[in-house]
Structure 1
Amino acid sequence: MSTYHNLIGGRWTAARSGRVRPDLNPSRTSEVLAHFPESDPLDLQDALEAASSAYPKWRSMSLVARGDILYRAAELLTARADAIGRDLALEEGKTFPEAKGETLRAAAILRYYAGEARQETGEVYAAQDPTTLLYTRREPLGVVGVITPWNFPIAIPAWKIAPALVYGNAVVWKPADITPLTAFHLAQALVDAGLPEGVLNVVYGRGSVLGPVLTEDRAVRGISFTGSNAVGRGIGIACATRGAKYQLEMGGKNAVVVLADADLELAVEMTIRGAMRSTGQKCTATSRVIVEAPLLDAFTEALAERCRGLQVGDPLDSATYMGPLASADQQKTVLDYIRLGQEEGARLVTGGEALDPSGYYVAPTVFAGVNPGSRLATEEIFGPVVAVVPAASMDEALQLVNGSSFGLSSSVFTRDLGKALRYVEEVECGIVHVNSETAGAEPHVPFGGMKESSSNSREQGKSAREFFTQVKTVYMDRPASV
């Protein structure tokens, strides 16, 4: 069985503690896939020193040369997509087609930012004095920290690390501790593509041990984080206290609204995709379905029937629609919310139980008659659980969607263009879908939420440049002798 190490200063280096922890297969919890370091703050300090040393030379390299490295890494990910997808499915639990698709999405993200290296890097302005050349230039922040979650262990790191690198920053990356093998594959592709030593450093271990060190070190000029609200708020406070930039993408309680004129079959299918793919472990997953009264019974019955027919099992089996949850903690959390929903008086229509005891499986679950103020309807569950909430009208549906403290993604199903446009205008979410699932994002457009779902920042597309660079304004005048 392989034992992997931290990437520090261009070398795969064992943790100073000598401790390792197992990388488990959530579909067969008795299977250990590999061992990874249990790092401590000293390992992180080594990584920060390596990044600080590598930064000046990396910053001086041309954008185009940096982009070429990303392009080569994208080609390597594409060539290795089957192997990476298999490892991702084994350690995270999503099905192989989803895992391979995520790997190819990471490659697409790298290609996009390789192309951004050939875009404008500043602007020229008219000056009061016609002899003055007045312009701006974008410069990197310096050393940045990246903290990523386990649910998209290659796509989310790619959409943070690629722009950080192409714009000239050096990176210290703390990947999620339950998906370290996928993180290794992304780092190895960048190394094999020719990334200079020390420009990207990867330190494995527990976030509770490494996170505070990374966020509080004054050498780190920015932190990009995706994860829970509790951790995100702590990072924001720590960074604000010392004047560092921070970018937080956090929770969601994403709602589908099904209006009375909706295409019922389409609404059911898209709700299933949004709620059950990746076992509901997406920040953009569908968690609430708000259904206008005339369609309520038919929609609920069709949704439950469709859920009963989903195959849950081995993520490498081509017939599997939904794999296991990613960890024992995730399974316990989801089962606790299912019990809570029943205690709150919601009606369990289907699912609600743990399945194959060899892995962290939970049946696709649908609740009906859910109180919109209940915990089941207001708190992020991060699992295959859908709460169906009735609404008397579109007005009430909008009120229910906007009543959430979160505002990441939402969908509306309707045949009425006017209602669709009104929904887009009035819903308080950073991402809005019309007649499609709540999940899914393309790499060239901004991604992020409103309210407690984010720090009012955006990722991906050109928005990433706003975070990973700083603007310098230059007034250039001729010498008096000229």
Structure 2
Amino acid sequence: MFSRTVYCGAKAATAHVARYQLRCFSQFPLSVPINLPNGLEYEQPTGLFINNKFVPSQQHKTFEVINPSTEEEICHVHEGREDDVDIAVDAADKAFTNGSWSTIEPAERGQALYRLADYIEKDADIFASIETLDNGKAISNSKIDVQLVINYLRYCAGAAGKFDGRLIDTGKTHFSYTRKEPLGVCGQIIPWNFPLLMWSWKIGPALAAGNTVVLKTAESTPLSALYACKYVARAGFPPGVVNIVSGFGKIVGEALSVHPKVKKIAFTGSTATGIHIYQNAASTLKKVTLELGGKSPNIVFADADMAATVQNIIMGIYFNAGEVCSAGSRVYVEESAYDSLVDQFVKASESLKVGDPFDETTFQGAQTSQNQLSKILGYVDIGKKEGATLLSGGERVGDKGFFVRPTIFGDVKESMRIVKEEIFGPVVTVTKFKTLDEVVDLANDSQYGLAAGIHTTNINNAIKVSDRLKAGTVWINTYNDFHHAVPFGGFNASGIGREMGQEAFDSYSQVKAVRAKLQ
């Protein structure tokens, strides 16, 4: 998908004519005008962002960004390599050691984050449109994302002055206390499913704590984070505090994870890649947080409000076209309510509008890439071959764009791959259970442990089950219901550490103990 062709204005330079390429490299724009399908226009930055400036990549390479809804090229952006990572890390390290950010009044850091949130809020329609253009998600989903970004940056701004240590009473002979200090340069690697939201989840707590960052965007969705950087300097962040190197995981991600000047790695993505990054980071004993995959159970008891529960299941599995790590992809329904619930769920799923993501009435937009669409349809075939019953969906929509119908499988066995493996798309399995103990065992029978849902009007059962589930987040009578003050992260193969809440700030600071002997 990602070409190495380099653009010179509107013209492409061929790979064979080196002299012509060199002329074009110097002319490759650091921004391009974009006309959005909803009539909005804006200027899209395409360079790397280092020291508060958009700059070309050192090796003058670019890659194309595809619109998942049309399969057409949006633009090319500069592709970072190892030398670009070195430059960005050096800029971040200098900004940290010179104290222009790490040692200023915490309130000043908070004010810069508040201003950044204000700029995003003023430009919210453009940001939402970029997410929809670049990622393929429905514009209604993108607007939710942008508001979550604004809320979280403001939450981080308010926390900037609250990195307090404590006074420790160790007797009259010594004065003992702790202080929380920033780590230094933080390398951050974000996924393609929530480009702007994950950008905020990463930079917000890191900057509030006084760190500097070098962030790698996902190669398929780099546009919104680059656009956000046009406001970094205006918001009051000194040069080098926020840096973005667009590029590929095997190059930029690898370089960040082993770089000796990077003190912390934060990664959101697949479990397999997270394990690799964790191993790399061990070579320099970096602090690491990993928000990884999931195969989350969504449990329905017979006493639940079924109409509300169906909508919660829909939000759990089809929100963001199912490209959600916490997606409720395993639905367990109490036996006496199974037939009724499945009937309502199938009808509701088939009424959802799939298509043009810029249409305000669309619920589910496109999958983000051809690879993801192929993976989803491949799992549909696997489910059929394994003997599951396809109750609804399971097919591509249209012949252009990466669209797929919401898909429901019944008559599944727990050993089936569609039950065990993360599909990362709008595909759900539905299973009966008889007892509370049985459903807890079924829910916990997974290598993952990111999230879970419980639907019941019996609060006692809700608490009993939530206490026994091996999941970092349990939603009761709701699903995919995030709040900036509530930590999010997983157990087991779903990761290490937490995003959001006070716990995220703890991951971006270290404790220093001071003990002075009194005379």
Taking structure 1 as the reference length, what is the TM-score of the superposition? 0.96
Q: Deviations over 1:320-361 (max 9, x none)?
A: 010010011110110001100001100001101011221000
Residue 246 to residue 20, structure 1, CA distance change in 2 (3 Å):
same
**Structure 1 letter corresponding to 2:68:** P
Tell whether the 8 Å contact from 1:256 to 1:289 is kept in structure 2 after alignment.
yes
- Is residue 102 from structure 1 mapped to residue 145 from structure 2 by the alignment? yes
**Residue in structure 2 matched with residue 122 of structure 1 by the alignment:** 165
**Structure 2 letter corresponding to 1:316:** F
- CA–CA distance in 1 between the matches of 2:65 and 2:234? 24
Which SS does the other structure have where 2:501 is aligned? coil
- CA–CA distance in 2 between the matches of 1:247 and 1:355? 37
Q: Deviations over 1:294-322 (max 9, x none)?
A: 11111111111111111101111011010
Of 74, 84, 107, 1:64 maps to: 107
TM superposition shift of 1:399: 0.6
**Structure 2 letter corresponding to 1:330:** Q
- CA–CA distance in 2 between the matches of 1:321 and 1:340? 26
- CA–CA distance in 1 between the matches of 2:365 and 2:372? 13
TM superposition shift of 1:476: 2.8
**Residue in structure 2 matched with residue 50 of structure 1 by the alignment:** 91
Q: Deviations over 1:264-284 (max 9, x none)?
A: 212111101111111001111
Tell whether the 8 Å contact from 1:223 to 1:247 is kept in structure 2 after alignment.
yes
Of 245, 249, 253, 1:203 maps to: 245
TM superposition shift of 1:163: 1.1
Of 357, 363, 385, 2:427 maps to: 385
Tell whether the 8 Å contact from 1:411 to 1:436 is kept in structure 2 after alignment.
yes
TM superposition shift of 1:241: 3.1
Q: Which runs of 5+ in 1 are unaligned?
A: none
Of 508, 514, 519, 1:468 maps to: 508
- Is residue 290 from structure 1 mapped to residue 337 from structure 2 by the alignment? no
Tell whether the 8 Å contact from 2:181 to 2:509 is kept in structure 1 after alignment.
yes
TM superposition shift of 1:412: 1.0
- CA–CA distance in 1 between the matches of 2:61 and 2:284? 32
Q: Which moved more, 1:117-126 or 1:301-310?
A: 117-126
- CA–CA distance in 1 between the matches of 2:464 and 2:185? 43
- CA–CA distance in 2 between the matches of 1:118 and 1:472? 17
TM superposition shift of 1:131: 5.2
- CA–CA distance in 1 between the matches of 2:159 and 2:303? 42
TM superposition shift of 1:461: 1.3
**Structure 2 letter corresponding to 1:91:** D
**Residue in structure 2 matched with residue 405 of structure 1 by the alignment:** 447
- Is residue 74 from structure 1 mapped to residue 114 from structure 2 by the alignment? no
Q: Between the two proteins, what is the percent identity of the paired residues?
A: 36
Tell whether the 8 Å contact from 1:143 to 1:220 is kept in structure 2 after alignment.
yes
**Residue in structure 2 matched with residue 245 of structure 1 by the alignment:** 287
- Is residue 445 from structure 1 mapped to residue 486 from structure 2 by the alignment? yes
TM superposition shift of 1:37: 1.2
TM superposition shift of 1:251: 0.4
Q: Which moved more, 1:215-224 or 1:52-61?
A: 52-61
Runs of 4+ in structure 1 deviating by more than 3 angstroms, as ranges, are none
Tell whether the 8 Å contact from 2:52 to 2:232 is kept in structure 1 after alignment.
no
- CA–CA distance in 1 between the matches of 2:356 and 2:478? 27
Of 295, 315, 335, 2:357 maps to: 315
- CA–CA distance in 2 between the matches of 1:315 and 1:362? 13
- CA–CA distance in 1 between the matches of 2:389 and 2:502? 45
**Structure 2 letter corresponding to 1:295:** A
Tell whether the 8 Å contact from 1:146 to 1:224 is kept in structure 2 after alignment.
yes
- CA–CA distance in 1 between the matches of 2:143 and 2:459? 36
The 5 Å alignment of 1:61-460 reads 61-128=104-171, 130=172, 132-437=174-479, 439-455=480-496, 457-460=497-500
TM superposition shift of 1:423: 0.7
- CA–CA distance in 1 between the matches of 2:291 and 2:117? 24
TM superposition shift of 1:120: 4.7
Tell whether the 8 Å contact from 2:96 to 2:184 is kept in structure 1 after alignment.
yes
- CA–CA distance in 1 between the matches of 2:484 and 2:143? 17
Tell whether the 8 Å contact from 1:284 to 1:440 is kept in structure 2 after alignment.
no
- CA–CA distance in 1 between the matches of 2:154 and 2:148? 10
- Is residue 36 from structure 1 mapped to residue 54 from structure 2 by the alignment? no
- CA–CA distance in 1 between the matches of 2:260 and 2:104? 24
Tell whether the 8 Å contact from 1:289 to 1:386 is kept in structure 2 after alignment.
yes
Tell whether the 8 Å contact from 1:77 to 1:104 is kept in structure 2 after alignment.
no
Q: Deviations over 1:212-240 (max 9, x none)?
A: 11101111111000000111001111212
Tell whether the 8 Å contact from 1:70 to 1:190 is kept in structure 2 after alignment.
no
Q: Deviations over 1:165-210 (max 9, x none)?
A: 1111111100111111111123223232121111111000111111
- Tell me how large the CA RMSD over aligned residues is: 1.3
Tell whether the 8 Å contact from 2:112 to 2:237 is kept in structure 1 after alignment.
yes
- CA–CA distance in 2 between the matches of 1:176 and 1:125? 44
- CA–CA distance in 1 between the matches of 2:148 and 2:460? 34
Which SS does the other structure have where 1:349 is aligned? strand
**Structure 2 letter corresponding to 1:473:** A
- CA–CA distance in 2 between the matches of 1:277 and 1:329? 19
- CA–CA distance in 2 between the matches of 1:37 and 1:218? 25
Tell whether the 8 Å contact from 2:475 to 2:481 is kept in structure 1 after alignment.
no
Q: Deviations over 1:388-437 (max 9, x none)?
A: 11212222111110011111111111121221111111111110111112
TM superposition shift of 1:63: 1.3
Q: Deviations over 1:61-109 (max 9, x none)?
A: 1211111100100100111101110111111111112112211211111
- CA–CA distance in 2 between the matches of 1:241 and 1:120? 29
- CA–CA distance in 2 between the matches of 1:168 and 1:304? 49
Which SS does the other structure have where 2:63 is aligned? strand
Q: Which runs of 5+ in 2 are unaligned?
A: 1-9, 11-31, 33-44
TM superposition shift of 1:34: 2.2
Tell whether the 8 Å contact from 2:163 to 2:209 is kept in structure 1 after alignment.
no
- CA–CA distance in 2 between the matches of 1:308 and 1:100? 24
